[in-house]
Amino acid sequence: MIATRIDIIALSANVVPFLMFMSQVLQLLLDGERLSTEQMAEVLGLSTDDIDQELDRLSTDKVLLGWRPVLNPEHADQGLVRAVIEVKISPEREGGFDRQALRISRFEEVDSCHLMSGGYDLLVVVKGSTLHQVASFVSERLATIGGVLSTATHFMLRSYKEQGYLLVDGDPEDVRPAVSP
Amino acid sequence: MEPESSNRVAQHVRSLPRSGIRDFFAIVAQMPDAISLGVGEPDFVTPWHIREATIFALEKGRTSYTDNRGLSDLRREISNYVETNFNVDYNPEDEVLVTVGVSEAVDLALRALLNPGDKVLYHQPCYVSYHPGAILAHGQPIAVPTQSDEGFALNPAALAEAWEPGCKVLMLNFPTNPTGGTASPEVLRQIAKFACEKDLIVLSDEIYSELTFDGTHTSIATFPGMKERTIFLHGFSKAYSMTGYRIGYACGPVDLIEAMMKVHQYSMMCASILSQDAATEALRNGKDSVAQMKEQYHRRRDYVVRRFNEVGLKCHLPGGAFYAFPDIRSTGLDDQEFAQRLLSEQKVALVPGSAFGADGAGFVRASYATAYEKLVDATFRIEAFVNSL
């Protein structure tokens, strides 16, 4: 597998309001450069212990959820099939959509799951190694869960941007003269 | 025959020295693997929404000349922007002129204002074009030195000392390239008072104003009696990372803008319509992009300045722009020697301070419009170089 970028963080969904007040460490990570703990310490004028402590805090507070690489889904070695599933479910008294959404989310095949406004309730992104595997998951596991009223499956054909990274042109070339006024 | 001594070239052009930047560029160009902190432009590519607007303009077939003054939509946006952000009100009809970068605006102003022999005060170290710009307009430039321990702000007493009869124009550039120096409202108030007393016209190049990190930027045009004697110069290169678009503007009193317009219409005619459309988009929707870029420059500044001081190269905290200007005299080397040896021994390019005027001697300019990874590497190399001396 080829990683287009590694060390890219997965942030929890409720992080956006937090960004206004985020730590310098988090801000550095979000700038998107791949910096080691030592480099982050150097840039911020802190010790590596300080950086580790802050990263631990971000993990404990579930602001920082993980450190998965962002992979290029277009790379041939990946062989991933991805589909977006629109799911309609009937909400439950006192629980709303949460119980069923969590039940769906726990499947390994499910990459992400979001409650949506509009014409359907849940948007579920499913991954599998073959088209057949994803189709089976949807028809045999997802659609059969109690309370699921309907599903509409859309297979992804090609990706152009993945988690903020352009897949087509890549980074622009730096054509600036080495010295300028 | 030496080309410089050729009588075919006008005397005042022959008298101009070669740019120190150009000389240094020739050396750095031979070392493609060097880390360059010598770049005087942002490292961010122009935000996509601005580039996309340019493509759309091209698709629509907007490839014509425009009104000499610039597109009316753009002039209105400029007028609104300057009023909202700088608190100065200019009529888009006759007090705003769109130019090919601020460089053209500076040139137009000097050519429109100066009679042969008129004197032009400017603070030094400064952007490389001010001194030659005055000479090319047949003026006589007079440098006012600024000091590191004053953050390279223009000291009103030094200005008064440098003044002499025949001074007509005062050029200001805060935040300053190459020092990152800014001027406090109090200093500007004193300079404004002096300008009124001496009947000076102020050319205020505020191209780096959005990149002011400490406090808020104040334009000298806001002080009493100043709007009528100030030409406010600004552009899109730095804040919106649009250097290659070559688009800027001048705002000022009707008679002065009209005079600049005359020179502009007979020389440049108008700025590129595509750049004007892009600039309109930048002013309408670019606020967030500017804030994001500024935030990154701010953090890099703090890092670079701290590292220069740790290494033993005394560096004032620049209040704006994206340059640090450390003092290298403690090394015993002059700035040319320092820059050349650093380049050959550690492969890091900085610009010798004397390229920005005699008062920049003993300093070097380090642009931090560079990714962190390179900045960190460069500062370690600089440290190794300084320790080896």
Classify each residue of B61-84 as buried b or exposed e, where b means 16 or more C-beta atoms within 10 Å of its C-beta: eeeeebebbbbeebbebbbebbee
| Domain identity same for B268 and B381 | no
Query: For residue A11, is pLDDT > 70?
Result: no
Distance in Å, alpha carbon of B265 to nearest chain A alpha carbon: 27
Query: For residue B93, is pLDDT > 60?
Result: yes
The pLDDT of B68-90, averaged and rounded, is 98
Say if the Cβ atoms of A178 and B351 lie within 8 Å: no
Expressed as residue numbers, the domain containing B304 is 3-46+289-388
Axis-axis angle for helices B287-311, A37-44 (nearest 10): 90
Chain B CB within 8 Å of residue A174 CB? yes
Say if the Cβ atoms of B41 and A178 lie within 8 Å: no
Integer Cα distance of B256 and A88 in angstroms: 67
The pLDDT of B84-99, averaged and rounded, is 98
Integer Cα distance of B353 and B139 in angstroms: 24
Contacts of B202 (CB under 8 A, 6+ apart): B169, B170, B171, B172, B192, B195, B220, B221, B226, B229, B230, B231
Token readout for B193 is 């008072």
Token readout for B136 is 């090319």
Determine which of B18, B19, B39 to mutate to test the interface with A (most A C-beta atoms within 10 Å). Answer: B39
ipTM, interface predicted TM-score of the complex: 0.78
- pLDDT category at A18 given cuts 50, 70, 90 is very low
Query: For residue B73, is pLDDT > 50?
Result: yes
| Domain identity same for B273 and B311 | no
Integer Cα distance of B136 and B116 in angstroms: 10
Contacts of A115 (CB under 8 A, 6+ apart): A97, A101, A121, A122
| Domain identity same for B231 and B92 | yes
How confident is the model at residue A31, as a pLDDT? 77
**CATH of A3-70 among 1.10.287, 1.10.10, 1.10.540, 1.10.3470:** 1.10.10
| Domain identity same for B321 and B172 | no
How confident is the model at residue B242, as a pLDDT? 97
User: Chain A contacts of B376, Cβ < 8 Å?
Assistant: 39, 42-43
> What is the number of structural domains in chain B?
2
* Residue where a domain stops, chosen among B286, B314, B344: B286
Of B43, B177, B351, the CB nearest to A179: B351
Q: What is the pLDDT of residues B149-175, one digit of tens each?
A: 999 999 999 999 999 999 999 999 999
Highest averaged pLDDT of the listed ranges A24-38, B3-17, B314-328: B314-328
Q: What angle do CA A85, A90, A92 make, to 5 degrees?
A: 130
Pairing of strands A70-71, A3-5: antiparallel
Query: For residue A15, is pLDDT > 70?
Result: no
Say if the Cβ atoms of B40 and A42 lie within 8 Å: no
Distance in Å, alpha carbon of A44 to nearest chain B alpha carbon: 7
The pLDDT of A21-35, averaged and rounded, is 77
Integer Cα distance of A177 and B375 in angstroms: 17
| Domain identity same for B216 and B305 | no
Query: For residue A1, is pLDDT > 50?
Result: no
Q: What is the pLDDT of residues B102-121, one digit of tens each?
A: 999 999 999 999 999 999 99
How confident is the model at residue A125, as a pLDDT? 97
How confident is the model at residue A16, as a pLDDT? 45
Token readout for A20 is 């206004």
| Domain identity same for B101 and B250 | yes
The pLDDT of B21-45, averaged and rounded, is 89
| Domain identity same for B35 and B138 | no
Determine which of A36, A48, A179 to mutate to test the interface with B (most B C-beta atoms within 10 Å). Answer: A179
The pLDDT of B325-349, averaged and rounded, is 97
Summary mean pLDDT of chain B: 95
Q: What is the pLDDT of residues A41-58, one digit of tens each?
A: 988 888 999 999 999 999
Q: What is the CATH number of the domain that holds B167?
A: 3.40.640.10
Q: Which of B292, B353, B346 is nearest to B323 (CA)?
A: B353
User: Chain B contacts of A35, Cβ < 8 Å?
Assistant: 372-373
Query: For residue A5, is pLDDT > 60?
Result: no
Cis before residue B178, ω within 30 degrees of 0?
yes
Query: For residue B5, is pLDDT > 70?
Result: no
User: Chain B contacts of A31, Cβ < 8 Å?
Assistant: 296, 372
| Domain identity same for B134 and B120 | yes
Chain B CB within 8 Å of residue A20 CB? no
Note whether A180 and B129 are within 8 A (CB). no
* Residue where a domain stops, chosen among B217, B251, B286: B286
What DSSP state is assigned to residue A168?
S
Chain B CB within 8 Å of residue A33 CB? yes
| Domain identity same for B260 and B138 | yes
* Residue where a domain stops, chosen among B263, B286, B309: B286
Query: For residue A6, is pLDDT > 50?
Result: no
The pLDDT of A19-39, averaged and rounded, is 77
B375: Cα separation from own chain's centroid: 22
Q: Which of B386, B388, B338, B384 is nearest to B361 (CA)?
A: B338
Q: Which of B369, B355, B387, B375 is nearest to B27 (CA)?
A: B355
User: Chain A contacts of B299, Cβ < 8 Å?
Assistant: 24, 27-28, 43
The pLDDT of B42-46, averaged and rounded, is 91
Of B24, B295, B372, the CB nearest to A179: B24
Token readout for B20 is 């120190």
Integer Cα distance of B77 and B71 in angstroms: 10
- Give the chain B residue whose CA is nearest to the CA of A174: B43
Of B127, B128, B376, the CB nearest to A43: B376
Q: What is the pLDDT of residues B252-310, one digit of tens each?
A: 999 999 999 999 999 999 999 999 999 999 999 999 889 989 999 999 999 999 999 99
User: Chain A contacts of B306, Cβ < 8 Å?
Assistant: 45
| Domain identity same for B269 and B298 | no
Note the pTM of the prediction, 2 decimals.
0.85
Query: For residue B317, is pLDDT > 70?
Result: yes
- pLDDT category at B21 given cuts 50, 70, 90 is confident
Of A28, A176, A178, the CB nearest to B29: A178
Q: What is the CATH number of the domain that holds B319?
A: 3.90.1150.10
List the CATH code of the domain at A81-162. 3.30.70.920
With 0-12 / 13-18 / 19 or more C-beta atoms within 10 angstroms meaning exposed / middle / buried, residue A169 is exposed
Q: What is the pLDDT of residues A98-124, one digit of tens each?
A: 999 999 999 999 999 999 999 999 999
Sketch the domain layout of chain A as residue ranges: 3-70, 81-162
- Give the chain B residue whose CA is nearest to the CA of A39: B376
Say if the Cβ atoms of A31 and B177 lie within 8 Å: no
Say if the Cβ atoms of B299 and A181 lie within 8 Å: no
- pLDDT category at A3 given cuts 50, 70, 90 is very low
User: Chain B contacts of A172, Cβ < 8 Å?
Assistant: 45
Say if the Cβ atoms of A176 and B373 lie within 8 Å: no
| Domain identity same for B115 and B261 | yes
Q: For chain A, how far is it from start to end, CA to CA, in angstroms?
A: 44
Note whether A64 and A107 are within 8 A (CB). no
Number of residue pairs across A and B with CB atoms under 8 Å? Answer: 65
| Domain identity same for B313 and B271 | no
Integer Cα distance of B312 and B320 in angstroms: 22
User: Chain A contacts of B295, Cβ < 8 Å?
Assistant: 27
Of B40, B371, B372, the CB nearest to A181: B40
Of A27, A172, A180, the CB nearest to B45: A172
- List Cα–Cα distances, B37 to A129, B62, B118, B286, B377, in angstroms: 47, 37, 37, 26, 11
Number of CB atoms found within 10 A of residue B247's CB: 29
Token readout for A177 is 């003269």
Integer Cα distance of B369 and B41 in angstroms: 7
Integer Cα distance of B107 and B247 in angstroms: 14
Q: Which of B186, B143, B183 is nearest to B163 (CA)?
A: B143
